[in-house]
Amino acid sequence: MKTAITAGTLFTPLERIDFPFVLIDEGKIIAVSSRIETELPFDVRHLDYPDLVLAPGFIDIHIHGGSGHDVMEADDAALAAVETGMAKHGVTSYLPTTVTAPEDRILRALEHLGATIAQNGNTKRPHAIGIHLEGPFISHAKRGVHPPENLVPPNKEIFQKYWDASAGTIRMMTIAPELPGATETIAEAKQMNVHSSIGHSDATYSEALEGINAGADHATHTFNAMRPLDHREPGILGAALTDDRLTADLIADGVHVDPSIVKLFLQAKGPERAILITDAISATGMPEGTYKLGAFEVEVRGDRCEYQGKLAGSVLTLDRAIRNVMDFAGWKLQETIRLATFNPARLLGITGIKGVVVPGCDADLVLLSPEGHVMQTIIAGEICL
């Protein structure tokens, strides 16, 4: 049976439609209009949310875990718990993100995640739409909490090994562009439709440009694990903030970057090139305590996740990131939603499938209060929250 969804407002997010009517059949959106222009068919299941905002489901391109589990556990039940937790916060698609670890552990995680993606997952849980490989091709100087003994210089052959283990499902790779072999690896990844994201890097401005010229098109958790901005040597940050060939993401939790820097970032990248991520770890949605990030343990107190005094991921959720942007930068809900829906979908080349509410796209949707709180999550046309 077809499903008709009506609400107070729809943010597609590129367009606002008041009193929207969205018709769904077999997990796909088949019609979008206004109730003012459309009569409700009699032979449909009708879901009505008159006081809520309808929007595309959120897409998190950088998430390590949640609900007590890590995506590197290579375990079906653990991944299901992570996905169930994400759905509570409006996420309907994501890139499970690995961390630097011994090669055998990375390969095992990639094999499990790749097989999961190939099976297309449970339609009532968020879909893993590809893998984000964060490490081991990163800088020792800006490694953050990634274990130094497992860092590896960028290498096309090693990347091919990871690609094969994932069954061709790696969609993004964080890489330090200044490292020997980086530009060649970036160029190789581009040929395989893998997005190279510059990050965990001590690159100078010219070294960052070399990576961008080789094909890098994104920047990972801007400001964090990057050479600081200097007015005479702008470094990787100067490139991330000013080069329009790059989209860039940010952890807008008020911990990783000050609220004023969130506003600065958004002014620099604008509504078209900014993306919100969580960088969430297994502790997300859990009480304070000790949790795993890859192979090491992280102490969580309040909103801070630390390993040996360094920040180690976050407990941020994507809906909270949206509310924070509205608070920190004074943005409205519609333009902020774009940063977690259309923009990541466009980066990944899937705007004909996800990240926007138009006919032909997957019926992955979220119902929000006007303040940005998630009230209902719908995946492939089915209520999952």
Question: From CA 277, how far away is CA 95, in angstroms rounded?
Answer: 10
Quote the tokens at residue 377.
């999550």
Which is it for strands 289-293 and 296-301: parallel, antiparallel or unpaired? antiparallel
Angle at 221 between CA 366 and CA 214, to 5 degrees: 110
Question: From CA 158, how far away is CA 164, in angstroms rounded?
Answer: 10
76 is catalytic: no
Which residues lie below 8 Å from residue 69, measured CB to CB, with a gap of 6+?
75, 78, 79, 81, 82, 282
**Do 28 and 356 meet the contact criterion of CB atoms below 8 Å apart?**
no
> Under DSSP, is residue 141 helix (H, G, I), strand (E, B) or coil?
coil
By C-alpha distance, which of 346, 345, 319 is closest to 333? Answer: 319
Residue carrying structure tokens 């609220």 = 259
Which residues lie below 8 Å from residue 366, measured CB to CB, with a gap of 6+?
54, 55, 56, 57, 58, 90, 92, 374, 376, 377, 378
Helix (H) / strand (E) containing 48: strand 45-56
Identify the active-site residue in 60, 279, 319, 364: 279
In the chain, what is the straight-line distance between the N-terminal and C-terminal CA atoms, in Å?
20
Question: From CA 43, how far away is CA 4, in angstroms rounded?
Answer: 10
Q: Which of the residues are catalytic? A: 279
